[in-house]
């Protein structure tokens, strides 16, 4: 995931959290419309907030949106980066002023990708990354480390293809071209 894609996912989760905290009862449809994403991706964001981040999230039929059943804060991971953009983001989320002497924090959301794998044994060996099946040979994967994911993908002994995101497929192709270039036999 490019930093802009990763930032986009973080911004969506933060927007959703802020709307829920302020009792606006957002739902997946509003999230999709607000960020120009598919309803399915928006629902995955809602599910991620609930299942992976542990949000006490419930749906209100009356308000047609989500709310917290108890007070909840987004989890953060300590980071040693002291950049201004990150401090502004943290200030916005927490409402607190931070300075260069403070340690800044950053939420880490996983990357997602859709892959096509035709061999069942290869699917089984790749199951650490697979979170759901999209269709017959297509799977939704989730990962935190791009190089680890691509390394595992390259080692699959099957016809396999990254469907989306396009930037990840491009990165895989560049990686493969570099491997081929550096390992050609001299004549």
The verdict on 94 and 131 lying in the same domain is no
Classify 131 as helix, strand or coil: strand
Please report which confidence band the pLDDT of residue 1 belongs to, taking 50, 70 and 90 as the band edges. Answer: low
Residues 118 and 177 in one domain: yes
Domain final residue pick, 14, 47, 68: 68
Rounded Cα distance between 161 and 116, Å, is 5
pLDDT one-digit tens code per residue, 14-69: 889 988 988 889 999 999 988 889 999 999 999 989 988 889 999 999 999 999 99
Q: Domain of 64?
A: 3-68
Residues 115 and 174 reside in one and the same domain: yes
Retrieve residue 56's tokens. 């006490």
Q: Please, where are the H alpha helices in the chain? A: 3-21, 28-35, 39-47, 84-94, 120-125, 146-154, 166-182
According to DSSP, the residues that pair with 65 across neighbouring strands are 60
Is 169 a domain residue?
Answer: yes
Same domain as 85, residue 43: no
What does the pLDDT average to over 92-119?
A: 59
Within 48-161, where are the H helices?
84-94, 120-125, 146-154
Closest CA to 105 of 63, 62, 76, 141: 76
Shared domain for 84 and 133, answered yes or no, is no
Q: Indicate if 150 and 167 belong to the same structural domain.
A: yes
Please check whether residue 187 lies inside any domain of the structure. Answer: no
Cβ distance 160 to 153 under 8 Å?
A: yes
Structural domain tally of the chain? 3
96 by Cβ neighbours in 10 Å (0-12 / 13-18 / 19+) ranks as exposed
Give pTM, 2 decimals. 0.44
* pLDDT level of residue 166 (50, 70, 90 thresholds): confident
Structure confidence at residue 42 (pLDDT): 93
Which residues, at least 6 apart from 179, have a Cβ–Cβ distance to it below 8 Å?
Answer: none
CA geometry: angle 53, 4, 145, nearest 5 deg:
55
Whether 175 maps to a domain, the answer reads: yes
Q: In the structure encoding, which two tokens stand for residue 93, read together? A: 């989320």
Residues 26 and 50 in one domain: yes
Residues 116 and 97 in one domain: no
Residue 101 and residue 115 share a domain: no
Residues 90, 126 share a domain? no
């Amino acid at each position: 995931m490019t930093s802009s894609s990763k930032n986009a996912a973080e911004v969506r989760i933060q927007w959703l959290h802020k709307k829920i905290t302020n009792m606006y009862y957002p739902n997946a449809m509003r999230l999709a419309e607000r960020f120009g994403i598919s309803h399915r991706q928006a629902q995955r964001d809602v599910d991620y907030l609930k299942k992976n981040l542990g949000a006490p999230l419930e749906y209100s039929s009356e308000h047609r949106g989500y709310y917290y059943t108890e007070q909840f804060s987004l989890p953060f991971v300590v980071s040693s980066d002291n950049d201004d953009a990150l401090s502004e983001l943290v200030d916005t989320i927490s409402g607190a002023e931070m300075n260069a002497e403070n340690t800044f924090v950053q939420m880490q959301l996983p990357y997602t990708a859709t892959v096509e794998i035709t061999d069942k044994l290869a699917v089984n060996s790749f199951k650490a990354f697979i979170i759901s099946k999209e269709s017959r040979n297509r799977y939704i994967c989730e990962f935190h480390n791009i190089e680890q994911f691509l390394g595992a993908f390259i080692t699959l002994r099957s016809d396999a293809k990254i469907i989306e995101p396009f930037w990840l497929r491009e990165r895989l192709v560049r990686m493969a071209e570099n491997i081929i270039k550096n390992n050609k036999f001299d004549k």
